[in-house]
Amino acid sequence: MNGVLYVAYGARARRAATAAIASLWQWNDIPVAVISDKLGAVNVPDVQTIQFPEQDASDLSDVALSRWAKVNMDRLSPWHHALYLDADTRVRGDILQPFRSIEDGFDMAICASGYQGNDAYQHVGDVERAMTLQMLTAPLQYQAGVVYFSRERCKPLFRAWRKRWLEFRGQDQAALSRAMEDEHPRVWLLGRNYNGPAGSLIEHAFGKARAL
């Protein structure tokens, strides 16, 4: 069974996730779960809330918690095949088709980032960016705000992603690139209409939700 996962920590993210789910369901009939620190995180009927972490983590900021939740999605997803969507995405059409690539055997379906080459990882801290560029030699940078994945087949990748994220506890995207170099997943590349500021299927505000 397939489903969609959102991560929402803090009031702003929960509001953004509520609007994101409404846009998803306007076009797609698919179950939704929200990973959050609070049960009933979003006030939307039929949305499952997954509380994470179960123990107190008040020493972590909402942003850090949301990224830690994201790199734990293989442990939290109720579905074998899941689509993770950032809370600041808005769905503009039928986005279920890429699940077929996961059912057909790819581990993950994801878009390339709009920033490549010398522009890669500009949003990442200086030290992490330098380490990532030092470790990786010119591979494609993926955009991790929209990720279709197989929960089982991606377990090694998520394990590596957690380990890599804990190195800096910052953004998750550079950590994903390093984890991919560790685990070599089978990736089906999607067009940016699935994840872009003007995406015709999934429009992504790229962090503006946090600034609202």
Partner 1 sequence: MAKVWMQSLGNCSVDEAGKRVTYGPAQWFQCGKHDARQFIASGSAKFANQRDQASVLDLADCGIVIGMHLFPLLETLRRDHKLPTTTHEEDAAFPFPYTRTLFLDMNATLNPRLVPVGFEHLDSGWQVAIPTCGGELLAESVGSDQDREATLSVVRNLSVPLLDTRAIFMARCNGTRQLLVEWTHEKSVVRFGDPRLAFLRAYYRVQPVTCHLPAERWME
Say what the alpha-carbon torsion angle 194, 200, 202, 206 is, to the nearest 10 degrees. 90
Q: Which of 12, 75, 186, 210 binds partner 1 (CB under 8 A)?
A: 186
Q: Which of 31, 40, 78, 105 binds partner 1 (CB under 8 A)?
A: 105
Q: Does 134 sit near partner 1 (CB under 8 A)?
A: yes
Q: Does 161 sit near partner 1 (CB under 8 A)?
A: no
Contacts (Cβ under 8 Å, ≥6 apart) of 198: none
> Least distance in Å: CB of 160 to partner 1?
12
Window 188 to 207, contacts with partner 1 (CB under 8 A): 188-194, 201
The stretches of 36-188 forming alpha helices (DSSP H) are 62-70, 73-76, 99-103, 126-135, 155-168, 173-183
Adjacent-strand bridge partners of 187 = 108
Q: Does 98 sit near partner 1 (CB under 8 A)?
A: yes
Phi, psi of 25, rounded to the nearest 5 degrees: -75, -15
Q: Does 126 sit near partner 1 (CB under 8 A)?
A: no
Which residue number, 55 or 118, has a Cβ lying nearer to partner 1?
A: 118
Q: Does 208 sit near partner 1 (CB under 8 A)?
A: no
Which residue number, 29 or 104, has a Cβ lying nearer to partner 1?
A: 104
Q: Using an 8 Å Cβ cutoff, are 32 and 48 in contact?
A: yes
Binding part of the chain for partner 1, among 9-17, 102-110, 151-159, 160-168 by CB under 8 A, reads 102-110
C-alpha 71/C-alpha 52 separation (Å) is 12
Q: Does 137 sit near partner 1 (CB under 8 A)?
A: yes
Q: Does 100 sit near partner 1 (CB under 8 A)?
A: yes
Q: Which of 181, 203, 206, 210 binds partner 1 (CB under 8 A)?
A: 181
Specify the length of the chain in residues.
212
Task: Write the CA distances from 199 to 75, 120, 194, 202, integer angstroms.
Answer: 29, 20, 6, 5
Q: How many CB atoms lie within 10 A of CB 159?
A: 16
- Quote the tokens at residue 190: 């999607």
Which residue number, 21 or 202, has a Cβ lying nearer to partner 1?
A: 202
Q: Which of 141, 171, 173, 195 binds partner 1 (CB under 8 A)?
A: 141
* Residue ranges that bind partner 1, judged by CB under 8 A: 97-98, 100-101, 104-106, 112, 116-117, 120, 133-134, 137-141, 181, 184-194, 201
